[in-house]
């Protein structure tokens, strides 16, 4: 009784406002403490069943749900505000990674995270789960497209078109296959990209020019890739597209998580400006649509209408009856897919190749390889380039270290996934969300050894050929733990072009210029002592951006030597 009397007596002596605040404080404290104790007890019980229960298919268990303190919000705050990878490092200090899966409460919705390679591989092969909800969020929240247009574009639940025999989703998949995955079509795209980039490089006035390498590279690559895919006219019509895009890119994940515009007003303003400009561009294209070359015809690229892929996409927009604003938003998403990953990946590659704190022999060895892909006229033979073992290994090591993709699926039915070879399984209930974060496989300390997973190692994907004794590129043994482009039916459709774009850009820069490293700088251009690391941004955003740059002095190579 004394314990109950004391607070009452103490409160009665306080002024009314303070008494109310004190009662509110006690109430909130009790709620938070009770939530933590209950979720911790539940976690301990589920973990015991999970780790000690019989490993038979009929006894598949739900993943242990990680404790939290704040109702509804759950684990969302600590997951989203933590620097990339920090949340998981802290979690695995006390939660057994051997479970292969766990559940987090994110804004009132239980979300299952899987990191067992067996479970990831099975999820990517599963046909039932979809990412429809994520597609809707990306279009509406991230790209600002009206709900009605989004439904029209995807056509969820619509029957097959009698003329084609395909549903809207199947039409989009066929379009991606025909224009972004077929070898001859990808080669056309790459040829236009390297042509546009070569023109920009040739016009660059660099004689011992001191620049931030990634910042300088980003502008040129963005212009070249946009011109190659979308056409040259968009860069003339949409004023400030190059600069506005990177402002939009910086805030895209904030938009996707539905954070208010006052949180990152410049990013929202940049998106609105881009969409206004692209709507004007689409109006111009519509007026001249009779002049648009058939994407299946003999014209590979057109200055106004761009690539075959772009023309096929716009033809589909018209067939679906989309508004000009929706077309602008979808094209912004297409440009986002083109540039927000390939360009940072190219920057990471060049920084590591030139890094004075890294392997001092790497630049020489890469140059020796790249020279074998150089034609007599100075251009690069892309098929030869993309087969070079060391260059491929460096590219994939950059993807391993710096890609954080959340392969996200919505479960329409109950799903059971294997966790190991011994019939241990995890049960996921229908209507739930399951996520396979690539970074958990890419940086698993138990699976990437010698050197440790946190280190950049240019030769990590090289093996010695048993017959020739030469180094060859290999992805053997990476199934389920290395998936930088996602996987399954929603795997990145632009992955083939992206690889050629990145490797082509790296080769062209190294063949065109000599670089002397001046030092490292942060995002504000201030000098820093060490190699840049990851920017503090949201997880799951693809190729993670750098928190700084490497300053170099550039001079054009003497091609006569």
User: Is the predicted pLDDT of residue 9 greater than 80, yes or no?
Assistant: no
Counting beta carbons within 10 angstroms of the beta carbon of residue 163, is it exposed (0 to 12), middle (13 to 18) or buried (19 or more)? exposed
Cα separation, 256 vs 336, whole angstroms: 13
Tell me, what's the pLDDT at 379? 93
Give the model confidence (pLDDT) of 361-374 as tens digits. 999 999 999 999 99
Average pLDDT value for residue range 284-289 = 94
**Cis amide leading into 273 (omega within 30):** no
Tell me, what's the pLDDT at 13? 60
DSSP H/E element including 550: strand 548-556
> To which CATH superfamily is domain 135-559 assigned?
Cytochrome P450 (1.10.630.10)
- Provide DSSP, 492-518: -TTHHHHHHHHHHHHHHHHHHEEEEEE
Tell me, what's the pLDDT at 226? 98
Residues 6+ apart with CB under 8 A from 94: none
Cα separation, 127 vs 559, whole angstroms: 53
- Closest among 221, 214, 199, 246 to 504, alpha carbons compared: 221
Cα separation, 318 vs 316, whole angstroms: 5
Tell me, what's the pLDDT at 275? 98
Signed CA dihedral, 420, 449, 345, 189: sign only: negative
**pTM (2 decimals)?**
0.94
Cα separation, 208 vs 560, whole angstroms: 19
Q: Is 233 helix (H, G, I), strand (E, B) or coil?
A: helix
Cα separation, 81 vs 536, whole angstroms: 9
Average pLDDT value for residue range 460-478 = 95
Q: Is 543 helix (H, G, I), strand (E, B) or coil?
A: strand
**High-pLDDT (> 90) share of the chain, %:** 83
Q: Which residues of the chain are in CATH 1.10.630.10 domains?
A: 135-559
Mean pLDDT of the chain: 92
User: Is the predicted pLDDT of residue 56 greater than 90, yes or no?
Assistant: no
Tell me, what's the pLDDT at 6? 43
Average pLDDT value for residue range 159-171 = 93
Count CB atoms within 10 A of the CB of residue 195: 14
User: Is the predicted pLDDT of residue 163 greater than 70, yes or no?
Assistant: yes
Give the model confidence (pLDDT) of 182-226 as tens digits. 999 999 999 999 999 999 998 887 667 889 999 999 999 999 999
- Closest among 136, 12, 18 to 4, alpha carbons compared: 12
Average pLDDT value for residue range 439-450 = 92
**Residues facing residue 104 across a β-bridge:** 111
| From 192-201, 295-304, 414-423, 500-509, the region with the lowest mean pLDDT | 414-423
| 401 compared with 56, residue with greater pLDDT | 401
Give the model confidence (pLDDT) of 213-269 as tens digits. 999 999 999 999 999 999 999 999 999 999 999 999 999 999 999 889 998 999 999
Tell me, what's the pLDDT at 17? 73
> According to the annotation, is 214 in a ligand binding site?
no
Give the model confidence (pLDDT) of 14-23 as tens digits. 566 777 787 7
């Amino acid at each position: 009784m004394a314990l109950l009397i004391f607070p009452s007596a103490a409160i009665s002596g306080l002024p009314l406002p303070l008494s109310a605040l004190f009662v509110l404080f006690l109430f909130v404290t009790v709620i938070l403490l009770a939530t933590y104790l209950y979720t911790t007890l539940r976690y301990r019980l589920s973990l015991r069943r999970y780790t000690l229960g019989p490993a038979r298919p009929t006894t598949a268990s739900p993943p242990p749900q990680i404790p939290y303190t704040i109702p509804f919000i759950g684990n969302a705050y600590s997951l989203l505000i933590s620097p990339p990878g920090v949340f998981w490092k802290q979690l695995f200090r006390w939660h057994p990674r051997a479970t292969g899966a766990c559940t987090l409460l994110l804004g009132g919705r239980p979300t299952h995270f899987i990191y067992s390679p067996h479970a990831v591989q099975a999820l990517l092969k599963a046909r039932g789960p979809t990412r429809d909800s994520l597609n809707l969020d990306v279009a509406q929240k991230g790209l600002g497209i009206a709900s009605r247009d989004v439904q029209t574009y995807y056509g969820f639940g619509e029957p097959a078109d009698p003329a084609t025999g395909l549903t809207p989703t199947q039409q989009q998949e066929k379009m991606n296959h025909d224009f972004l995955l077929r070898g001859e079509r990808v080669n056309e795209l790459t040829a236009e990209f390297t042509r546009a980039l070569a023109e920009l490089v040739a016009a660059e006035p660099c004689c011992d020019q001191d620049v931030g390498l990634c910042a300088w590279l980003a502008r040129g690559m963005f212009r070249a890739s946009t011109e190659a895919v979308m056409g040259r006219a968009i860069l003339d019509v949409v004023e400030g597209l190059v600069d506005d895009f990177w402002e939009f890119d910086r805030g895209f994940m904030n938009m996707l998580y539905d954070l208010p515009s006052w949180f990152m007003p410049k990013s929202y303003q940049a998106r609105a400006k881009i969409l206004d400009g692209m709507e004007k561009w689409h109006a111009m294209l519509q007026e001249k649509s009779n002049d648009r070359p058939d994407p299946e015809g003999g014209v590979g690229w057109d200055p106004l209408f761009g690539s075959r892929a772009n023309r096929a996409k716009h033809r589909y927009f018209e067939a679906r009856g989309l508004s000009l604003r929706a077309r602008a938003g979808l094209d912004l998403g297409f440009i986002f897919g083109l540039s927000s990953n390939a360009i940072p990946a190219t920057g990471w590659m060049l920084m590591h190749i030139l890094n004075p704190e890294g392997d001092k022999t790497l630049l020489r060895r890469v140059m020796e390889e790249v020279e074998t892909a150089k034609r007599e006229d100075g251009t690069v033979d892309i098929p030869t380039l993309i087969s070079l073992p060391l260059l491929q290994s460096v590219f994939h090591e950059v993807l391993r270290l710096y890609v954080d993709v959340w392969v996200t699926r919505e479960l329409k039915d109950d799903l059971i996934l294997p966790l190991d070879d011994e019939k241990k399984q995890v049960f996921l209930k229908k209507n739930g969300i399951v996520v396979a974060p690539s970074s958990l496989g890419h940086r698993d300390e138990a699976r990437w050894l010698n050197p440790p997973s946190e280190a950049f190692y240019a030769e990590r994907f090289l093996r010695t050929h048993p017959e020739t004794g030469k180094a060859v590129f290999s992805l053997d043994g990476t199934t389920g733990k290395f998936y930088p482009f996602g996987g399954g039916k929603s795997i990145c459709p632009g992955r083939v072009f992206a690889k050629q774009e990145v490797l082509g850009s790296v080769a062209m820069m190294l063949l065109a210029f000599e670089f002397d490293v001046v030092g490292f700088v942060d995002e504000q251009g201030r000098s820093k002592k060490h190699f840049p690391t990851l920017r503090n941004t949201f997880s799951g955003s693809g190729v993670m951006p750098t928190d700084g740059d490497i300053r170099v002095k550039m001079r054009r190579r003497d091609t006569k030597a």
